[in-house]
Amino acid sequence: MATTEQSSGFGEGPAEEMIRRTAREIAAEYDDEYWREVNHEGTEPDAFWQDCADAGFLGAAVPEEYGGEGMGIGAMTTIVETLEEHGCMGAGMLFVVTPVFGSITLARNGTDAQREQYLEPLVKGDMKFCMALTEPGAGQNTRNLATDAEPTGDGYVVNGAKQWISGVGRADKMLLIARTTPLEAVERPTGGISLFLADPADDGVECRPLDTGVPAPETQYEISFDDYELDASALIGEEGQGLYQMFDTINPERLVGAASAVGAGKCALRRAADYAREREVFDAPIATHQAIQHPLADHYSKLEAAEMLVKKGAWAVDNDGDAGAAANMAKLRASEAGYDACDFAVQVHGGNGLATDYFVVDLWKGARLGRIAPGSSEMMRNYIAERVLDLPRSY
Q: What is the C-alpha separation between 121 and 368, in angstroms, rounded?
A: 33
Indicate if 335 and 228 belong to the same structural domain. no
pLDDT for residue 6 is more than 60: no
pLDDT over 90 percentage in the chain = 86
Q: What is the C-alpha separation between 219 and 318, in angstroms, rounded?
A: 30
Domain that holds residue 103: 14-128
Sequence-ordered list of residues with C-beta below 8 angstroms from that of 214, at least 6 positions apart, any chain: 365, 366, 368, 369
48, HSE (Cβ side, Cα atoms, 13 Å): 26
User: pLDDT value at position 137?
Assistant: 79
> Is residue 270 domain-resident?
yes
In DSSP notation, 115-140 reads HHHHHHHHHHT---EEEE---TTTTT
> Is residue 393 domain-resident?
no
Query: Final residue of a domain: which of 196, 220, 242?
Result: 242
Length of the chain: 395
**Is residue 204 within 8 Å of 228, Cβ to Cβ?**
yes
DSSP-assigned beta bridge partners for residue 152: none
The per-residue pLDDT for range 352-364, each reduced to its tens digit, is: 999 999 999 999 9
> Is residue 140 domain-resident?
yes
Task: Give the CATH number for residue 346.
Answer: 1.20.140.10
**Is residue 263 within 8 Å of 85, Cβ to Cβ?**
yes
Indicate if 255 and 378 belong to the same structural domain. yes
**Is residue 76 within 8 Å of 258, Cβ to Cβ?**
no
Indicate if 102 and 182 belong to the same structural domain. no
| Cα separations in angstroms, 18 against 90, 233, 255, 369 | 22, 39, 21, 30
> Is residue 4 domain-resident?
no
pLDDT for residue 219 is more than 80: yes
Indicate if 327 and 271 belong to the same structural domain. yes
**Is residue 90 within 8 Å of 49, Cβ to Cβ?**
no
**Is residue 389 within 8 Å of 329, Cβ to Cβ?**
no
Q: What's the farthest any 2 CA atoms get from each other in the chain?
A: 79
What does pTM read for this prediction?
Answer: 0.94
pLDDT for residue 8 is more than 50: no
Q: What is the C-alpha separation between 278 and 280, in angstroms, rounded?
A: 6
Whether a cis peptide bond, with omega within 30° of 0, leads into 63 is: no
> Is residue 1 domain-resident?
no
Indicate if 123 and 171 belong to the same structural domain. no
pLDDT for residue 107 is more than 60: yes
Write phi, then psi, for 360 (nearest 5 degrees). -70, -25
The per-residue pLDDT for range 360-395, each reduced to its tens digit, is: 999 999 999 999 998 899 999 999 999 999 999 887
Indicate if 318 and 195 belong to the same structural domain. no
Indicate if 277 and 371 belong to the same structural domain. yes
Question: Which secondary-structure segment (H or E) carries 281?
Answer: strand 280-281
For residue 290, the tally of other CB atoms under 10 A from its CB is 8
Indicate if 375 and 300 belong to the same structural domain. yes
Mean pLDDT, rounded, for 160-176: 95
Q: Report H helices in the chain.
A: 14-27, 32-41, 46-54, 73-85, 91-95, 105-109, 112-124, 242-278, 290-318, 324-349, 360-370, 377-383
Query: Final residue of a domain: which of 75, 101, 128?
Result: 128
Task: Give the CATH number for residue 85.
Answer: 1.10.540.10
DSSP-assigned beta bridge partners for residue 208: 222
How many separate domains does the chain show?
3
Lowest mean pLDDT of 135-149, 160-174, 235-249, 316-330, name the range: 135-149
Indicate if 61 and 114 belong to the same structural domain. yes
pLDDT for residue 338 is more than 80: yes
Sequence-ordered list of residues with C-beta below 8 angstroms from that of 4, at least 6 positions apart, any chain: 15, 70, 71
Helix/strand/coil (H/E/C) assignment for every residue in 151-165: ECCCEEEEEEEEEEE
> Please, what is the average pLDDT of the chain?
93
Query: Final residue of a domain: which of 128, 161, 180?
Result: 128
> Is residue 9 domain-resident?
no
Closest CA to 234 of 165, 174, 186, 168: 174
**Is residue 272 within 8 Å of 345, Cβ to Cβ?**
yes
Q: What is the C-alpha separation between 226 and 228, in angstroms, rounded?
A: 5
> Is residue 395 domain-resident?
no
Mean pLDDT, rounded, for 185-200: 91
Mean pLDDT, rounded, for 163-190: 92
pLDDT-derived band at 5, boundaries 50, 70, 90:
very low
245, amino acid identity: Q
> Is residue 6 domain-resident?
no
User: pLDDT value at position 9?
Assistant: 52
Mean pLDDT, rounded, for 338-357: 97
69, amino acid identity: E
For residue 321, the tally of other CB atoms under 10 A from its CB is 13
Task: Give the CATH number for residue 200.
Answer: 2.40.110.10
Indicate if 121 and 153 belong to the same structural domain. no
pLDDT for residue 7 is more than 60: no
307, amino acid identity: E
The per-residue pLDDT for range 64-95, each reduced to its tens digit, is: 999 999 999 999 999 999 999 999 999 999 99
Indicate if 314 and 199 belong to the same structural domain. no
Indicate if 277 and 369 belong to the same structural domain. yes
DSSP-assigned beta bridge partners for residue 195: 177, 236
pLDDT for residue 114 is more than 90: yes
Q: Give the burial string for 211-234 (b: 16+ CB within 10 Å, else e).
A: eeeebbbbbbbbbbbeebebeeeb
